[in-house]
Structure 1
Amino acid sequence: MQRRERGERKVGDIFLKERGKRTEAYEVLGKGRKLRELNDRISAGFGRDFDVMDGIETSMDELLSIDLADIFMKGWKKYGAVTEVLERSKHSPLQKFYIALSEHTIHSSHRPRLEVEVEGVSLPSLIFEIDLDLKLEGFVLEIVDGEMVAIDSGACMAAGRVSCEGVVLYEKRSEKVELPVRMGFEGEEDG
């Protein structure tokens, strides 16, 4: 789905507030077997030193570019009260339906993969684990013609972690997420 709002929020907005600051976890990850092997293989094959960790750090924005509103909508599609209204609204295409959502938590897990390629040579990829719990309160969902078209946002608290090769890179226990007051959508993607 395409967001129309300029103030969109991504998973990276939760975890990457202190950009440019390599955590101790990065140092642990860099000393791990798989990354040492990657660094050694790259350095031996190209006759110069490489630091895979630099590539991981610069790729974090892309790896964590998951839209929070997409996570909300995928979670709500599994909620019976929302699916009932989605179905009912298909039969009244000109009518707007609003659902006030009570306090609830959406759990979301993602496994993005970082493909490692140096000068055209593919190397083993790195798999990241992103686990996120979003506690939502005071959200109102607008539905038209069988589609979620907008959200009037309320309070959102996030907790979660980002890890790679068993090493936790970022962890948040309870982070308030600032959201636009209203988030609109164009079209939906299945999921």
Structure 2
Amino acid sequence: MTSAPAAAPLTVRSFLLGRDDSGTAPALRQALHDQHAGAGLLPGPRALTSAGDRAVEAELASVIGALLELDLVSLLAAGWVRHTALREAAHRTRQYPGSEEVVALATHSITSTHRPAVDVLVDGVPATTVEVGLTVVLRITGLVAVVRDAQLVAVRAGECEAEAKLAVREIPVASRQGRLDLPAELPLRSPVDLLPPDRQGHTRPSWQPAGPGPGPGPVNPG
């Protein structure tokens, strides 16, 4: 486990692995191989060859790489939707359209847990499922938020300590904790609705693929 400031862009990938370039996939493949996270998936006569294990590791690295592209600012925003002080400010500013409140937040933590599953196919037939687990904990101190018309429109950053853990089949593959170098004002992609109509029953953010494209899915080692 290392401890150091993260560099931009603020993705889980850049924080956890310290990089956001084309070298990420080989690094993930090597980590999976070193921890034997992709080996021995099938017992007995159905066992994969060494080449099959490496093919599974390569595909898992690709799937996990897509997961690690999660934006840390978006994870923070998802947590702030549930913050009591911000929701109270949202209710007040919704009651008085055009009004704005500046809310200073004390030290608080946001935990984001993601557990996608990857199906492994052998000769096109489902053989087993690989569980992937990613947990990100963000602890923020001295943050100031601006709420207007029930939306979070600006955030002036304080200090942020982060911890990320990645596991495959409950085998630890990578972990890191350290300080996030947040910009003076966080770049929200758009105003965040603090009173979304669909938030009932949601306790923490979860990750799901939005549609076709990179994301958890079947892996066929060939």
Q: TM-score, normalised by structure 2?
A: 0.66
Which residue does the alignment assign to 1:100? 104
Over 3 Å counting, the alpha-carbon distance change for 1:185 and 1:90 in structure 2 is farther
Which residue does the alignment assign to 2:37? 29
* Residue 152, structure 1, aligned to residue 159, structure 2: no
Q: How much has 1:145 moved relative to structure 2?
A: 0.8
Over 3 Å counting, the alpha-carbon distance change for 1:41 and 1:63 in structure 2 is farther
* Structure 1 unaligned blocks of 5 or more: 1-6
Sequence identity, in percent? 22
CA deviation map 1:46-105 (0-9, x unaligned):
xx8462001112232211222222222222222221110011111222222221111222
* Structure 2 unaligned blocks of 5 or more: 1-7, 200-222
Greater share of strand: 1
Contact 2:35 2:171 (C-alpha < 8 Å) held by counterparts = no
Contact 1:102 1:138 (C-alpha < 8 Å) held by counterparts = yes
| Aligned 1:97-136 pairs, distance under 5 A | 97-116=101-120, 124-136=128-140
Residue type of the alignment partner of 1:86: A
Which residue does the alignment assign to 1:14? 15
CA RMSD of aligned residues (A): 2.9
Over 3 Å counting, the alpha-carbon distance change for 1:123 and 1:154 in structure 2 is farther
Residue type of the alignment partner of 2:69: S
Which of 68, 74, 91 is the equivalent residue of 2:72?
68
Which residue does the alignment assign to 1:176? 179
